[in-house]
Amino acid sequence: MLKKDKVRFIIEQLDKFYPTVNPPLDHSNNYTLLIAVLLSANSTDKSVNKVTPSLFKKANVPNKMIQLSYDELYSIIKPCGLGPAKAKNILALSHILVNNFKSEVPDSFQELEKLPGVGHKTASVVMSQAFGYPAFAVDTHVHRLMYRWGLSNGKSVLQTERDGKRLFPEEKWNKLHLQIIFYGREYCPARNFNPNSCPITSIVGRRSLFK
């Protein structure tokens, strides 16, 4: 199957499985989205959504966040993992937003990626979900499935992003990366994976997966 045929099939199937998608991280504004995405690094959305209600009740804007002590913030976000670094970065970036951006989350990749703890994937999610900017955010699920479907070589997330943007229409990126995440969790997990039981991989997947 040619890649263009794979792409068409994948888009059709994902639209059938997930005709509408909602961001999986609970948030109420651009700032809480940024913090939730930062917390999701090396964690699960479920874990993040358990801690953010109490966190955002105390601090849902940068001005309130910087009033928390490091110890208080760390005690709240500890279940998400990497607590020391995340607490430090959240406080640091919140100070930057207050001092340099009038407490607003910047709407550019360049400025977002300058913030402590904010990498390209986090910036991509924020640009996509907060500002509607076309972005193909690559997390572990997207990276895994793009390889299994023979659409990328799996060597790096940057290569996977480049391949995704090259193969899929730009107007599909924002919805598609969420569809792939949801599909990966439900049908194409990292462990105990049977390609024959996966509705998409069984059709377009790499032949090596079936050996």
What angle is formed at CA 73 by the lines to CA 98 and CA 140, rounded to 5 degrees? 90
Q: What are phi and psi of 101, to 5 degrees?
A: -130, 20
User: Tokens at residue 12, please?
Assistant: 């059709």
Can you tell me the distance from the alpha carbon of 24 to that of 181, in angstroms, rounded to the nearest whole number?
10
Q: Which of 6, 86, 139, 163 is catalytic?
A: 139
Is 139 known to be catalytic? yes
Is 78 known to be catalytic? no
Secondary structure of the chain in HEC code, one letter for each residue:
CCHHHHHHHHHHHHHHHCCCCCCCCCCCCHHHHHHHHHHCCCCCHHHHHHHHHHHHHHCCCHHHHCCCCHHHHHHHHHHHCCHHHHHHHHHHHHHHHHHHCCCCCCCCHHHHCCCCCCCHHHHHHHHHHHHCCCCCCCCHHHHHHHHHCCCCCCCCHHHHHHHHHHHCCHHHHHHHHHHHHHHHHHHCCCCCCCHHHCCCHHHHCCHHHHC
Q: Which amino acid is at 79?
A: P
Q: Which of 45, 86, 121, 163 is catalytic?
A: 121
- Active-site residue set: 121, 139
